[in-house]
Structure 1
Amino acid sequence: MTPEAFDKACLALPGATLSIQWGDDHVFKVGGKMFAVRGEGVTLGGGISFKASDVAFEVLTETGRASPAPYLARAKWLHFADLADLDAGEVSDWVKTAHGLIAAKLTKKVKAELGLA
C-alpha cells in the first residue's frame, strides 16, 4: 500500500481529519481522537499504527505480522513497520475498524455533529 492510498482510506471515513504532529507524522482523528497514524519522521519512521480490536491485536501480534505500537500498546494499538508490504484492502478494513472503535466512544453530541449518530 502506498502512503497516499493510506491517507485516502483514512480520510474517506466519516468525520475523519488529518493533522501533522510530532514532526512529520500524519495523525488521523475522528471527533478529535486519534484512530490511525502514518509515520514520516522519527516517531514511526515510515510505518503505520492504528487502534485494533482485542482479537485483532492478539492475533496480529502473536503471529508476528504486527507489533504493539510504541506508547499505545496498552490501548491495543498495532504497529506495522513497512506500509509497502501490506495489502491495501486489508489495511483499509483495519483502518475502518479503528475508526469505528474510536467513534463509538465519542459523546452523542459529537457523533451527531459529525453525522455519525
Structure 2
Amino acid sequence: MYFSQVSRLDEVRSALLALPRVAETLQWGGRLVFWTMDKAVGGKMFALADLDAVDRAVFAFAAGPQHMPRLLECDGVHPAPYLARAHWVACDHWQVLPLPQLIDEVCAAYDYVGSRMPTRVQRLYELPTKEYRALVREARARATE
C-alpha cells in the first residue's frame, strides 16, 4: 500500500471511530469492517476497507438508495460485489472522492444503516458507555459458550 493510501485509510478510520458506538473488526482475510455497534449486540456493518486489495476495490460502504445513483456517476465507483442490492458502492482507489466528501459519505452510511436497525438495537445508543460495554462483554461471552 502506498503512503497516500495508508494516510487516507488512517484519516477515514479516525473519523469513523469518532462516531458513537462504532466498532471495527478484522475479518474475511484482510478486511477492516466498521459496524454501527458491536455485532455481538446486533450491530450492522456500514463500511469496509480491503487492506489486501490489489486488483479489486479498496473501500466499500452503504450508500443508500438516495445516494447510490449519484455516487455511481463518479469514475472509479461501482456497485459493491455481493452488497449492491443493499445499496453499497465500492471505490477502486482512495482518491476516487475528495477526502472530506468521502468522510461525509461514510458518515451518511453510518446514519443510514443505523436508522434501519431494529428499535431494540437503536435503543442501545442511549445507554451510558459503561452499561453498553458491559452489555457487549456479556453478549460476547454468551456467543463463545
Q: TM-score, normalised by structure 2?
A: 0.71
User: What is the aligned-residue identity percentage?
Assistant: 29
Q: Across the two proteins, how many residue pairs are aligned to each other?
A: 116
Larger radius of gyration: 2
The question of whether the paired residues in 2 share the 8 Å contact of 1:22 and 1:43 is answered with: no
1:81, CA displacement in angstroms? 1.1
> TM-score, normalization: structure 1?
0.86
Alignment-mate amino acid for residue 105 of structure 1: R
Structure 2: stretches of 5+ with no match in the other structure: 1-6, 38-42, 128-145
Letter in 2 for 1:26: L
Q: Answer 1 or 2: which has greater helix percent.
A: 2
Q: Which residues of 2 match residues 17-96 of structure 1 at below 5 A?
A: 17-31=23-37, 32-41=43-52, 45=56, 47-96=58-107
Q: Tell whether the 8 Å contact from 1:15 to 1:115 is kept in structure 2 after alignment.
A: no
The CA distance in 2 between the partners of 1:84 and 1:62, in whole Å, is 15
Point out the structure with the larger strand share: 1
Structure 1 residues without counterparts, runs of 5 or longer = none
Q: Please tell me whether the aligned partners of residues 77 and 96 of structure 2 are also in contact (alpha carbons under 8 angstroms).
A: no
Task: State the superposition RMSD in angstroms.
Answer: 2.2
Q: SS state of the match for residue 38, structure 1?
A: strand
